[in-house]
Structure 1
């Protein structure tokens, strides 16, 4: 992947932060810990100038882990499923 294809990452608010904020730890975390970590990550994303580019990249590359563009793994899975469902409805309709 060339540098120009990910140059949005250079403008991300997360670029100088600890990646552990955005990705689950290797060891188990409690539900409360996960919600706190994800909430803090989402707060960073909320004011990020490249939030949409980040989310688009994560969806296009099927990024499985972490908070990307303000969405968790589960939220991205639901978004993708809803988009597929909408596409099928439009095609059938």
Structure 2
């Protein structure tokens, strides 16, 4: 939602330089009642859920929804709906971000933590699983990339929702190289068999949608 009207109440927000607020000029919610975004004390659950559904639908068509969501996640604004997210959803995102940043494996093998923007883990998870089908285990990939194998294992397992952008880009760049090589690990066959048993999909099953968290794999029987 547009926050300019709320500045006096939100004293903890960043500075008020014009550039910080410029993205709000095109907000779809500009001029709308604040109660729609904040609700009220002891609001019944059903009423709150209905109100949130209405606001989220509005946010989906807003041209600045990404800027709004990013702003809310990076500031201590704890209440209201911003960028199509509720306060509870943002709290969960912050908690996961802290967990990702605090886990040494997000950084390199020496344990240095990598900070930076997060993206959906979907593409990285699918690429690591595709590599497993070719016999590449997370230990071998971690050694090549200089990352922690525990991090790559958690990404491949589906236990995460987000990953640091730099790490995701490293996985994306190394995968085509790996698929042109034969894994030297003695347990490559075991890794590939486990991947097939788990029902993981090769790259061809995802195509250009591999980074889309909502994408479904194409039917793939080993032929193009």
TM-score, structure 2 length as denominator? 0.39
- The 4+ residue runs of structure 1 with deviation greater than 4 A are none
1:34 partnered with 2:64 = no
Mapped pair 1:59 → 2:73: yes
Give, in whole Å, the separation in 1 of the partners of 2:58 and 2:33. 12
Measure, in 1, the Cα distance between the counterparts of 2:27 and 2:64: 6
Deviation at 1:16, TM superposition (A): 2.2
Query: Is residue 24–residue 65 contact of structure 1 (8 Å, CA) maintained in 2?
Result: no
Aligned equivalents of 1:62, 1:51: Cα separation in 2: 18
Q: Secondary structure at the match of 1:14?
A: coil
Structure ranking higher on relative contact order (CA contacts 8 Å, 6+ apart): 1
Distance 2:31 2:70 in 1: 21
Structure 2 runs not aligned, ≥5 long:
1-15, 112-147, 149-224
Question: Counterparts of 1:10 and 1:35 in 2: how far apart (Å)?
Answer: 27
Tell me, in whole angstroms, the C-alpha distance in 2 between the residues paired with 1:81 and 1:17: 30
Larger proportion of helix: 1
Listed one character per residue, the Cα deviations across residues 14-48 of structure 1 (whole Å, up to 9, x for unaligned) are 112111111121x3210001101111111111111
Q: Which has the larger radius of gyration?
A: 2
